[in-house]
Structure 1
Amino acid sequence: MSSRGVRAAGTDGTDFQNRQRVAQHYQESAQYKSILKWFFVPHFLILVFMWLKVGSELLRTNFGWKNAFFDRLDMPSAYPWEYVWCFSFIPIVLAIYSFQRNKLKILHYAYYAEFVVGIFPCMIGLGGQLPELMEYAQDMEGSNTPTFKGIFPMVIIWYIFFAVALQIHGFSMYFMHHLAAAWAPVKRD
């Protein structure tokens, strides 16, 4: 009916609510996209620091690059899992690319890439650093654990990193799964 005309007979004008709803899967899609974007921010910030650490080492060892700042930090050499984790920007790029047109297949690639280049390297690092953590916990003074600036043990920094990174990756995978479910076509019996 016209908004200026006479109201339809048999209605008081409050029956519009059933026609003015956004479908639940569209609401979920918008909500999960927003949440994922917020998880990508800290992931990217951590990634920048890892790129600086690993990149500076690559420049020093392969190209003879010298920098007083990185020399003063006295960082230990990078572990192999760190190189792999540096590629964890790939799931972010894939997920953001899938958001524009709800590309389910690309979101699935992002989901599995999150595990392969995010969680898996962290788990390898977690297991690889465990003996070093035990050695440090048993003898803090006499331990040969590499340190940050000669003071703070790197193994503690790594375990803080693992705690944060695994939560970011785990929640990202959780929300990617639910976003994929919101995008999936409805199965009719």
Structure 2
Amino acid sequence: MTTSPGSEDAQAPTADEIDDLARRAQAGDRDALEDLLAAVRPRALSVCRGVLPHSADAEDACQEALLNVAGKIGSWGGRGRFTTWLHVVALNSARSTYRRLKNQAFASDVLPAERPDPRTTSVIAGTRLDLLEAMETLEREHPQMVEPLLLRDVYGLPYEEIAALLGAPTGTVKAQIHHGRKLVRPLLRGDA
């Protein structure tokens, strides 16, 4: 690997190096797992920050994602890049953290009139609350469309990579994304 502990000028490991660490970690190499978690933490945090703009929330989601990676490393199939699988794990952790925080907020003593409108709050505060609310709505009605839509439109993964990750034909993934966009668009504009 091109990184060395304590090196100020250490470079991030390449995708091939990360895949190699992941394979070794799957085989039970604890040191490889530790190195893998350290190598992918910045990427996982970046994904979480893309969904949760408050640093402490993103850090919590990143920690959850890394725990999930450590506990579920065996579920990475090895067909695609480990970093693509990591995106999904981190994205799911961020969404889970958002749901938990949302439920805590609604369970608190905040009066309904004091709760901010997510559509206006997102514009003012620069958060992604409107997107997260739209994804929550889409997930209730069409759960199969959420993951492909987020991977394509938020994280910019290519259709082929999403298809490989989800184990679905590329045409199916494209159709899910197209239909998901049509359903989410009015939610983001506040037409719903």
Structure with the larger helix share: 2
Structure 1-normalised TM-score? 0.30
Q: If you compute each CA radius of gyration, which structure gives the higher value, 1 or 2?
A: 1
Q: Which structure would you say has the larger RCO, counting Cα contacts within 8 Å and 6 or more residues apart?
A: 1
Q: TM-score, normalised by structure 2?
A: 0.30
